[in-house]
Chain A
């Protein structure tokens, strides 16, 4: 039987290599050998995701590597997720800085590569993501967020002409008195931090790696605010 360190190292490497076949296999092996699923998640999969993020930021990795890593993470998550749920069924036990996210390309836009990559990276890093697809009416986004009690609404628009709908989404949340309930992340090729600030969003990120960091920061803010109140 391999040591816990060796198992975690293999899992981490499979994520870095973007090898979903291997990542599912080595994660299963680790589970069989009795490694705690939470340790697999944090010290294997997330540790690998961190390295991928660093390499992406250094310019060494690009979108293909990022997508492969996302797939490798997803394949491994399919193995550990049921175990985690069984073990920590109280649910709230300790989600750390991850949470529930609703994602969509807003109505009038059909471009979704960027949104898909962010969604898969969020899923891969432990977020529970509901992806509503493209050209999604604002009302449907909000209704889904209420229904699953989301922490974050992540919306995206590639075309400049569709960007105003992200502002409308925030205005609609305001009008419904639901703005405080959700954090709103916006994204898209033409979205700038200035735009995000102007429309009253909680933030934007230039790429999927930063989007994950932003989502985690927003979750922490939300939990702190709740803790204080």
Chain B
């Protein structure tokens, strides 16, 4: 007899789980990779694990969610909520929807909202590892040995005994993708050597030896121990993601994410570097904080897979150059000032214990992928390994968009990279009602070309603002992808002109006079949680223009280096890149012209690249080869940079024809300003653009 299964969805992450009847919500969440806090140890006293049941039918999921689909609260939990009943009611909410997830047991389908305060790690952007074909060529091997017991007649040392047994076992156990042992060069790491005598005897002369690179014994365990795991880590400026992988098979065992604890010292890489420069202990503080975070994350991801973090014997870390340096405790000063030089470009193999990764095995090694340039880091190398533009005949343009954008263009013949700051507008900063991508943020906008009225979708809700039947979601602000959508739509329907100005003759009921000129109201006061209208202002449009122009210019100079008009394919990488509507991105001119079906959001490629390097040592060498081959260009010193920047401020561009936008946006006419600008300081001739 099998027990009934129920569907549970955790919002705002949108994580889905199928759980057995009677499972507590908190453990269901944990199994699904959603960490919910508990300080009291599930005693119904701390309230840190509270969740809110979302009532209603979620058609897309085929779920009807109601409070009765959870077990009745017990005495302790009832007592906890009784004290808070009035407060909840005062906020206009239903106290019956509130539950302690450590107590509530699932007895039907349910959708719950995990409030920010209940998330063990707040603001987690879950970047899940996508299925990707990775050929496994592990750096490490495990060999099971049965030694001849030592006797008075045979008093060889334990290590010599192990070496002899390894020499015999190697050819017998070696798989086609395994590295052969170099017995003559074989070394043993000191902690392993210290453990050896005890291990050999505890296992009664039977032991399992972990060999790295065919040359070094890094771990010894008594008896037969099969498990061999490694960790691939993407240290992002905002989010750190760790993938635990089985090294022999390549299987992904667990994934955990956390907010980078350095966020408290500055939101972006520039402010972290400034903190290092300004604070006497800045470097040490940031180094410690990321290592504390990583140690914690290693323990969590191991626990999720039902093991200890000390099982982890190999770690690959990718991150932008600043994260890479802070992880190692290297000064970031030279990265942030011209000529922008990193401490090193090369790949690195270091003992985890020397770096300060103490949660993992004593003999574990950390491998860092090479750095392409000061602003094009090991994370970008991860993206290259994952997407492999260098294996193509076609010219691929890889764009990793964030507050700093890294771009690589090329094919098997040649690769060129560059980077540019884009400004904070894409992350919701410098925008009047901008916010980070969190619950309640407007993330999608559509404008009806006939009525010129908008509708929107917010994070944490499946329903559009004009959705029928369902309760319409309320907005709290607007995040990066929402702003991009909004400005692209305003341009598409003609409310905003190609120059970025609100069209004086546009007749939309939502185009109103704000305090500082015209605004387009996206959400009326009653559609928001803040009780005020959420508008797009003229200044907001300008901020987006200033953020998108350098992206286009970067692509322009890369294409120029190849003498190309457009790339054959565009890949948008990074957490933000995967949230952008590719058509909107092109309408705005964030990316150059390309057939739309050849523009792809590829998600967290850097993390995928880290997994590839973890599982396949050949690909690590490939990264080093790429480092040698990749050319770099520095944008601000390119001839004509300023003019290109100004041309790229227009939507989508002042002169670039964008044939693939034909029919998608307004009809474009030649812009007389272009001739004046391109005429330069010398008075323009009478030749106009055609």
> Which A residues are within 8 Å of any B CB, using their own CB?
18-21, 24-25, 58-60, 62-65, 67-68, 71, 74-75, 107-113, 116, 134-135, 158-164, 189-190
B423 touches A62 (CB 8 A): no
Encode contact with A along B652-690: 1 for CB under 8 Å, 0 otherwise. Answer: 001000000000000000000100110111011000000
21 CB < 8 A contacts A-B:
A19-B676, A20-B684, A24-B683, A25-B683, A59-B538, A62-B500, A62-B501, A62-B542, A64-B646, A71-B681, A108-B336, A112-B636, A112-B642, A113-B645, A135-B338, A159-B270, A160-B271, A160-B336, A162-B337, A164-B277, A190-B270
Please give the distance in Å from A88's CB to the nearest CB on chain B.
26
Bound together, the chains give a CA A163 to CA B270 distance in angstroms of 11
Bound together, the chains give a CA A68 to CA B654 distance in angstroms of 14
A162 touches B500 (CB 8 A): no
B539 touches A68 (CB 8 A): no
Bound together, the chains give a CA A20 to CA B683 distance in angstroms of 6
Given contacts A67-B646, A110-B338, contact A161 B538 (CB under 8 A): no
Encode contact with A along B517-560: 1 for CB under 8 Å, 0 otherwise. Answer: 11000000000000000000011001001000000000000000
Bound together, the chains give a CA A79 to CA B607 distance in angstroms of 60
Interface centre among B270, B641, B647 (most CB of A within 10 A): B270
Given contacts A68-B676, A108-B337, contact A161 B274 (CB under 8 A): yes
* Closest A residue by C-beta to B545: A62
The number of residue pairs between A and B whose CB atoms lie closer than 8 Å in the complex comes to 101
* Closest A residue by C-beta to B278: A164
Q: Which residues of B contact A164 (CB under 8 A)?
A: 274, 277-278
Q: Which 10 residue pairs are nearest across A and B when measured between Cβ atoms? A: A161-B336, A108-B337, A21-B683, A59-B538, A160-B270, A160-B274, A161-B273, A64-B646, A110-B338, A59-B517
Instruction: Tell whether B650 is near chain A: CB-to-CB under 8 Å.
Output: yes
B499 touches A62 (CB 8 A): yes
Encode contact with A along B321-356: 1 for CB under 8 Å, 0 otherwise. Answer: 000000000000101111000000000000000000
Please give the distance in Å from B516's CB to the nearest CB on chain A.
8
A59 touches B542 (CB 8 A): yes
Please give the distance in Å from B422's CB to the nearest CB on chain A.
11
Q: Which residues of A contact B647 (CB under 8 A)?
A: 64
Bound together, the chains give a CA A158 to CA B516 distance in angstroms of 26
CB within 8 Å of A: which of B408-424? 421, 423
* Closest B residue by C-beta to A164: B277
Bound together, the chains give a CA A59 to CA B500 distance in angstroms of 9
CB within 8 Å of A: which of B294-331? none
Instruction: Tell whether B649 is near chain A: CB-to-CB under 8 Å.
Output: yes
> Which B residues are within 8 Å of any A CB, using their own CB?
270-271, 273-274, 277-278, 333, 335-338, 421, 423, 499-502, 516-518, 538-539, 542, 545, 634, 636-637, 641-642, 645-647, 649-650, 654, 673, 676-677, 679-681, 683-684
Q: Which residues of B contact A108 (CB under 8 A)?
A: 336-338
B517 touches A58 (CB 8 A): yes
Q: Which residues of A contact B683 (CB under 8 A)?
A: 20-21, 24-25, 75
* Closest B residue by C-beta to A135: B338
* Closest A residue by C-beta to B275: A160
Bound together, the chains give a CA A119 to CA B122 distance in angstroms of 45
Q: Which residues of A contact B421 (CB under 8 A)?
A: 158-159, 189
Q: Which residues of B contact A71 (CB under 8 A)?
A: 676, 680-681
Given contacts A71-B676, A160-B271, A190-B270, 9 further A-B contacts (CB under 8 A): A21-B683, A24-B683, A59-B542, A60-B501, A62-B499, A62-B649, A71-B681, A112-B642, A160-B336
Please give the distance in Å from A174's CB to the nearest CB on chain B.
19
Bound together, the chains give a CA A25 to CA B679 distance in angstroms of 16
Interface centre among A134, A158, A160 (most CB of B within 10 A): A160
B277 touches A161 (CB 8 A): yes
Given contacts A20-B679, A135-B338, A161-B273, contact A64 B642 (CB under 8 A): no
B499 touches A109 (CB 8 A): no
B642 touches A113 (CB 8 A): yes
* Closest B residue by C-beta to A163: B274
Bound together, the chains give a CA A108 to CA B341 distance in angstroms of 11
Bound together, the chains give a CA A50 to CA B645 distance in angstroms of 25
Q: Which residues of A contact B539 (CB under 8 A)?
A: 59
Bound together, the chains give a CA A24 to CA B634 distance in angstroms of 35
Please give the distance in Å from A73's CB to the nearest CB on chain B.
12
Q: Which residues of B contact A60 (CB under 8 A)?
A: 501
Please give the distance in Å from A72's CB to the nearest CB on chain B.
9
* Closest B residue by C-beta to A55: B501
B673 touches A18 (CB 8 A): yes
Q: Which residues of A contact B538 (CB under 8 A)?
A: 59
B271 touches A110 (CB 8 A): no
B336 touches A64 (CB 8 A): no
A189 touches B499 (CB 8 A): no
Bound together, the chains give a CA A8 to CA B673 distance in angstroms of 23
Please give the distance in Å from B409's CB to the nearest CB on chain A.
22
Tell me which of B277, B333, B684 contacts A21 (CB under 8 A).
Answer: B684
Q: Which residues of B contact A59 (CB under 8 A)?
A: 501-502, 516-518, 538-539, 542
A64 touches B673 (CB 8 A): yes
* Closest A residue by C-beta to B274: A160
Please give the distance in Å from A27's CB to the nearest CB on chain B.
12
* Closest B residue by C-beta to A71: B681
Q: Which residues of B contact A64 (CB under 8 A)?
A: 499, 646-647, 649-650, 654, 673, 677
Bound together, the chains give a CA A87 to CA B239 distance in angstroms of 65
Bound together, the chains give a CA A113 to CA B646 distance in angstroms of 10
Bound together, the chains give a CA A130 to CA B336 distance in angstroms of 27
Please give the distance in Å from A43's CB to the nearest CB on chain B.
23
Bound together, the chains give a CA A173 to CA B201 distance in angstroms of 74
Q: Which residues of B contact A24 (CB under 8 A)?
A: 683
Q: Which residues of A contact B518 (CB under 8 A)?
A: 59
A75 touches B681 (CB 8 A): yes
* Closest B residue by C-beta to A190: B270
A20 touches B681 (CB 8 A): yes
* Closest A residue by C-beta to B537: A59
Q: Which residues of B contact A159 (CB under 8 A)?
A: 270, 336-337, 421
Bound together, the chains give a CA A62 to CA B673 distance in angstroms of 12
Please give the distance in Å from B546's CB to the nearest CB on chain A.
8
Bound together, the chains give a CA A207 to CA B103 distance in angstroms of 57
B337 touches A161 (CB 8 A): yes
Bound together, the chains give a CA A109 to CA B673 distance in angstroms of 30
A110 touches B336 (CB 8 A): no
Please give the distance in Å from B491's CB to the nearest CB on chain A.
14
Please give the distance in Å from A22's CB to the nearest CB on chain B.
8
Please give the distance in Å from B244's CB to the nearest CB on chain A.
35
Please give the distance in Å from A114's CB to the nearest CB on chain B.
10
B636 touches A110 (CB 8 A): yes
Please give the distance in Å from B689's CB to the nearest CB on chain A.
15
Q: Which residues of B contact A113 (CB under 8 A)?
A: 636, 641-642, 645
* Closest A residue by C-beta to B654: A64
Bound together, the chains give a CA A110 to CA B636 distance in angstroms of 7
* Closest B residue by C-beta to A64: B646
Q: Which residues of B contact A75 (CB under 8 A)?
A: 681, 683
Bound together, the chains give a CA A8 to CA B447 distance in angstroms of 45
Given contacts A60-B501, A62-B545, A63-B649, contact A160 B681 (CB under 8 A): no
Bound together, the chains give a CA A190 to CA B271 distance in angstroms of 10
Q: Which residues of B contact A163 (CB under 8 A)?
A: 274
Q: Which residues of B contact A116 (CB under 8 A)?
A: 642
* Closest B residue by C-beta to A158: B421
Bound together, the chains give a CA A103 to CA B171 distance in angstroms of 71
Q: Which residues of B contact A110 (CB under 8 A)?
A: 338, 634, 636-637
Q: Which residues of A contact B338 (CB under 8 A)?
A: 107-110, 134-135, 162
Given contacts A110-B338, A110-B634, contact A20 B676 (CB under 8 A): yes
Q: Which residues of B contact A62 (CB under 8 A)?
A: 499-501, 542, 545, 649
Q: Which residues of B contact A21 (CB under 8 A)?
A: 679, 683-684
Please give the distance in Å from A200's CB to the nearest CB on chain B.
16
Q: Which residues of A contact B271 (CB under 8 A)?
A: 160
Please give the distance in Å from B107's CB to the nearest CB on chain A.
53
Q: Which residues of A contact B273 (CB under 8 A)?
A: 160-161
Q: Which residues of A contact B274 (CB under 8 A)?
A: 160-161, 163-164
A162 touches B336 (CB 8 A): yes
